[in-house]
Every structure is written in C-alpha cells, then in structure tokens.
A and B are shown apart, each in its own frame.
Chain A
Amino acid sequence: MSGAPVHAPPVLRVADHPFFHGLDERFVQLAGSGATERSFEAGDMLFLEGDIASEFWLVFQGKVALEIAQPDRPHVTIQTVGSGDVLGWSWLVPPHRWRFDARAVKATRTLALDAKTLKDAFEARPEDGYRFLLRLLPVIGDRLENARVQILDIHGV
C-alpha cells in the first residue's frame, strides 16, 4: 500500500464528511477515533482484491476507481467514487477481504476509519450504529442497482 500516514495534525475531520452529517456527535467522535488520513497520487492503489479489509474509507477529494483485475486482459474499472463518497463495506461482512482493487485515478485525500474501532462504537452505541448502517445500506443498494443495469449493457445494439 503506497498511501502513507500523514504525521502532521490531520486537516480532514470525520465530522466534515457528508456521510456523517447529522449523526450523533459523540458517536462520530468515537467512530472516528481510529481514523488515519491517507493521501494518494494518481495510480496509487488504496487496496487490492484479497487484502484484509480493516478500514472504512471516506473520500474527501479526488477520484478512486474500483477495478477488477483480469489475468489475460486489461483491468476493467466498474465504478468510480469521488469526493463526498464512502468506499468499502467488506470490513463489515465476513470474510473481511476486499472484493476489488481500488486505485486513485487522480490525487485523492481520504480518511481511513479503523474497522475495529467502528465496530466497538456500534457496540457501545447500538442506536447510532443502526443509523450508520441505515446510511450505508443505500450506498450498497445503489451500487447493486448500478451493477445490475450495467450488466444489461443498455447502450449495446
């Protein structure tokens, strides 16, 4: 992984990311206590398929491509996420491994939230954890719907 932790005081705050807007302040603080700011240059990989998924990513700036690597053919990007989006839910479900590669398409700034800290926050504040999941589900749903329409190849003749 080429994204190096930034040691200067973090300028990105979990509470500033749209995903957390309106959630309970104490929960946000708890959930974000294990957050690390990670910045990437274009071409850097955020994670690779098969890696242990131990972080929940908040994208603040830039663009990240979710790719499928194919042995005999070029990589295919199946989705891009950008500023204001979140990335990844493999940390939440077994076997806790990434299903795709994630590559920065351009200079990208993120906060990576530690999965264990997040889950502890859910345990400590189940109601807020529930609200968190209510926000994550539509993201998953949208991507599922997108994927479904994409396989229809609606632009094909």
Chain B
Amino acid sequence: MASETHSATSAGSATESPFTPEPYVVERRVVETADTVTMVLKPAGGRGVPAFLPGQFNMVYRFGVGEVPISISGDPNRPDELVHTVRSAGKISDALTKTLPGETLGVRGPYGVGWPLQRAEHQDVVIVAGGLGLPPLRPLLYELLAHRDRYERVEIIYGARSPKDLVHYEDVQKWRTRGDLRLQVTVDAAGREWYGDVGLVTARIPDARFDPPRTVAFLCGPEIMMRLTAQALSTLGVPEASIWLSMERNMKCAVGLCGHCQWGPAFVCRDGPVFRYADVKRMFSVREL
C-alpha cells in the first residue's frame, strides 16, 4: 500500500524477539469515564521511552491476562513517559483499566505508521474524532499546537455517545479557550444539563471554517463515522488524498506475522493504522472484507 506516512517501527535485530514486552510501571491513573482510564507509564529500570510518532500504537500487556493494541495518547515531546488511554471492552482491556499505580504492565512497540502531519503544513487542518478516536489524535494535536504557526486554520470536531462519555476533558476545555483553533463537541444524545451540540460529527462540518482544496483532514473513530465524515469532506471538495484515517482490526502480533489484521492487501498493524482515504476508499464499500 503506497503510503507517505511516517514509520518508526523497530523491527528488532537478529537476536531480539519482536514479541517480548518491556516492563513499565503505572505512575498515574486518570479515570476518564465509567469504562475508560488514562494511564501514565514509566519504564522500569531507568530505561528511556522509545520515540513514537502521533498515531502509532503499542501492544500493552497485563501479566497473566494478555496483550492488546492500544494507541499512544500522550505528548510525543515528553520522552519521559508513555501515555495510554484504555477502554474496558474485553477481558484484557478490562484488566488493563484496573491496573493501579505502582503495578507493572508490559509494553512492546511503537508500531504502525503515524499521522502525516507534515503534509498539513501551510494548510487548514480539520481533525474529526469520534468516541475513543480522540486519544490516538491527541498526540497529533500536541505536536500541531507545539508548532502552531506552521498551519493555517485548525478545526476540531469531537463527537461522543453522551456528555459523560467525553474523554480528555481537561484538554478539551483548554483547547476550547485557545484563540488559535476552533473546537466543536457534539454528542449522540444528551440531557438538559448539556449545552453543547447534539448530532453526528458530520452535522458539525458545515460550521467548521476551512478552505476545502487547501485542507488536510485527520479522522479517527468508529468506521462508519470515518466513512461518513470522509464522504462529507470529499463532497465539500477536500481532496481524497488529503483525508487520513486510522483503522482498527483484530491484532495479535503487531508486526505483520499473525495475519489477523489484514484489510484487503494491507496489514493494518504495519501498513496502517493510518491510511489515506484515496487509497482505501474502495475497500470501505466491500462488506466483510
């Protein structure tokens, strides 16, 4: 799959096993929602955290339970810690969310290609996140805001199931008050305590300010949400080659050896998880691919 995304995956030397997790100690644990926590990890034994690119993921392991792929949700410019936001969605991820400070998790990675942020320089940037799609986009936002002057207008649309399902709320509040980006938050349904928007992220696109032909879009969230958003942006005139999205598939090995994450000719773990809409548009319309 042709890709201009970055890759920093360390394939491992001849003597190293690509399957061996490294121990990381949970330093802090932030409860995001009823089923989601953010964990700040520090490498055990004074090692450094491997450099990562926004959009990459790690295999995160709980001793005796197993490992699952989790996107990195922290700041790429903070090399002292590794941040993962995990939602309890199965036996392993549930065990991960219950890991307490002081306990040790295993980590191997980073894997996959990251968001090609350099392609957005001197362009308008539209970031659309749905639900747990925000954590994989947060490193991109940190990086973007660290060099804000390189980009033109920045629009963020963040959708969630309900107000109580919003994650990274502190960051969301900070971004909201910044003068150099616009943020719209929308939920699928809400009670009267919610003063924000209700509806799909696609319904917020008309209110976003960007010049479609000079826009780069980054999408992450449920597949249907990304498909509809990509279609909507494309209809407005955003080039399909400028729309990037992050895919999710069953993964076991994360290095292209186990076969699980195949999506057409792509290994999502290795050729993705970030793909260019123009390259994968056709695969989106094939059922059960």
Complex contact flag A–B (Cβ < 8 Å)? yes
Residue contact A146 to B206, C-beta cutoff 8 Å: no
CA distance A152 to B161 in the complex (A): 11
Contact of A75 among B89, B161, B191, B195 (CB under 8 A): B191
B189 within 8 A of A: yes
CA distance A74 to B195 in the complex (A): 15
- Rounded to whole Å, the gap between the CB of A77 and the closest CB of chain B is 4
A7 within 8 A of B: no
Residue contact A84 to B206, C-beta cutoff 8 Å: yes
Residue contact A149 to B195, C-beta cutoff 8 Å: no
Residue contact B197 to A80, C-beta cutoff 8 Å: yes
Residue contact B130 to A154, C-beta cutoff 8 Å: yes
B132: A residues at CB distance < 8 A: 155
Query: Residue of A at shortest CB range from B225?
Result: A154
Contact of B192 among A66, A77, A155, A156 (CB under 8 A): A77
Residues of A within 8 A of B (CB-CB), count: 27
Per-residue interface assignment for chain B, residues 166 to 185, with 1 indicating a CB less than 8 Å from any chain A CB and 0 otherwise: 00000000000000000000
Residues of B within 8 A of A (CB-CB), count: 33
Of A75, A77, A142, most buried by chain B (CB within 10 Å of CB) is A77
Contact of A155 among B165, B197, B206 (CB under 8 A): B165
Contact of B200 among A65, A105, A150, A156 (CB under 8 A): A150
- Residues from 96 to 136 in A contacting B, C-beta threshold 8 Å: 103, 105-106
Residue contact B191 to A77, C-beta cutoff 8 Å: yes
Per-residue interface assignment for chain A, residues 56 to 93, with 1 indicating a CB less than 8 Å from any chain B CB and 0 otherwise: 00000001011100000011111110101000000000
CA distance A154 to B189 in the complex (A): 12
Known interface pairs A82-B207, A142-B203, A155-B130. Does A150 touch B197 (Cβ–Cβ under 8 Å)? no
Contact of B190 among A77, A82, A155 (CB under 8 A): A77
A103: B residues at CB distance < 8 A: 192
- Residues from 72 to 117 in B contacting A, C-beta threshold 8 Å: 87-89
CA distance A103 to B221 in the complex (A): 30
B191: A residues at CB distance < 8 A: 74-77
A16: B residues at CB distance < 8 A: none
Per-residue interface assignment for chain A, residues 8 to 43, with 1 indicating a CB less than 8 Å from any chain B CB and 0 otherwise: 000000000000000000000000000000000010
CA distance A16 to B186 in the complex (A): 27
Residue contact B161 to A156, C-beta cutoff 8 Å: yes
Task: State the majority secondary structure of interface residues on B.
Answer: mixed
B194 within 8 A of A: yes
A66: B residues at CB distance < 8 A: 198
- Residues from 205 to 246 in B contacting A, C-beta threshold 8 Å: 206-207, 221-222, 224-225, 228
CA distance A80 to B159 in the complex (A): 13
B189: A residues at CB distance < 8 A: 76-78, 150
Residue contact A149 to B224, C-beta cutoff 8 Å: yes
Known interface pairs A82-B207, A154-B130, A154-B222. Does A105 touch B35 (Cβ–Cβ under 8 Å)? no
Query: Residue of B at shortest CB range from A74?
Result: B191
CA distance A156 to B188 in the complex (A): 11
Known interface pairs A74-B191, A152-B224, A154-B130. Does A79 touch B160 (Cβ–Cβ under 8 Å)? no
Residue contact B224 to A63, C-beta cutoff 8 Å: no
CA distance A146 to B221 in the complex (A): 16
Residue contact B195 to A106, C-beta cutoff 8 Å: yes
B202 within 8 A of A: yes
25 contacts between A and B (CB under 8 A): A65-B192, A66-B198, A75-B192, A77-B189, A77-B194, A77-B198, A78-B198, A80-B196, A80-B198, A80-B199, A82-B197, A84-B207, A142-B203, A146-B199, A146-B202, A149-B225, A149-B228, A150-B188, A150-B189, A154-B130, A155-B132, A155-B161, A155-B188, A155-B221, A157-B89
